[in-house]
Chains A and B, each alone.
Chain A
Amino acid sequence: SQTIHQWPATLVQPVGSPLSLECTVEGTSNPNLYWYRQAAGRGLQLLFYSVGIGQISSEVPQNLSASRPQDRQFILSSKKLLLSDSGFYLCAWTPGGKREKLFFGSGTQLSVL
């Protein structure tokens, strides 16, 4: 069976510090991978998606970047965090090439102070 792992669950970082959130998927190959941000338990905003290794599409201009160094690994990064980067970050995947439901990770609650 497929599983998605996202870590850490909670992170408190000072303004101006770097960020690295990691997400890995097991039990499938060539998944589509996504990073979403959710503010205060509201709707999800798509930040990045990837259909393959090294292929990243950005949905909104921002202080964050994403990378996919391996087929089932998706990383969200920032060189210098801003207060506005605080939020609940969710990684998700779908089977490659198929329009099916999103499988979400358990999320990372990021607080930038």
Chain B
Amino acid sequence: AQTVTQSQPEMSVQEAETVTLSCTYDTSESDYYLFWYKQPPSRQMILVIRQEAYKQQNATENRFSVNFQKAAKSFSLKISDSQLGDAAMYFCAYVSWNNNAGNMLTFGGGTRLMVKP
């Protein structure tokens, strides 16, 4: 079974600075996708960024970028120029794209990010 681990229950960053959230996963599949989701107090999961495992290039979305290390099974999220609105729970998630398996997301335990003004 696939597992996703986020080793940092809480992280804190000063506004305008950079913070990196860690994620590791375990899988024997070769074709999969990785995601970072943000969950504010409203509870709705909001997609931050995604990475296809077959792509070597790290994904970027404005202030958000990932460091995808496939061999190490590591997928960290870097938030640059942190803003007060970035404060939320962040979840790393994995999905195997195997036609014989359900394409459901497996989530890590989450990291609470606090942004200090």
Do A and B bind?
A: no
Residues of B at the A interface (CB closer than 8 Å) are none
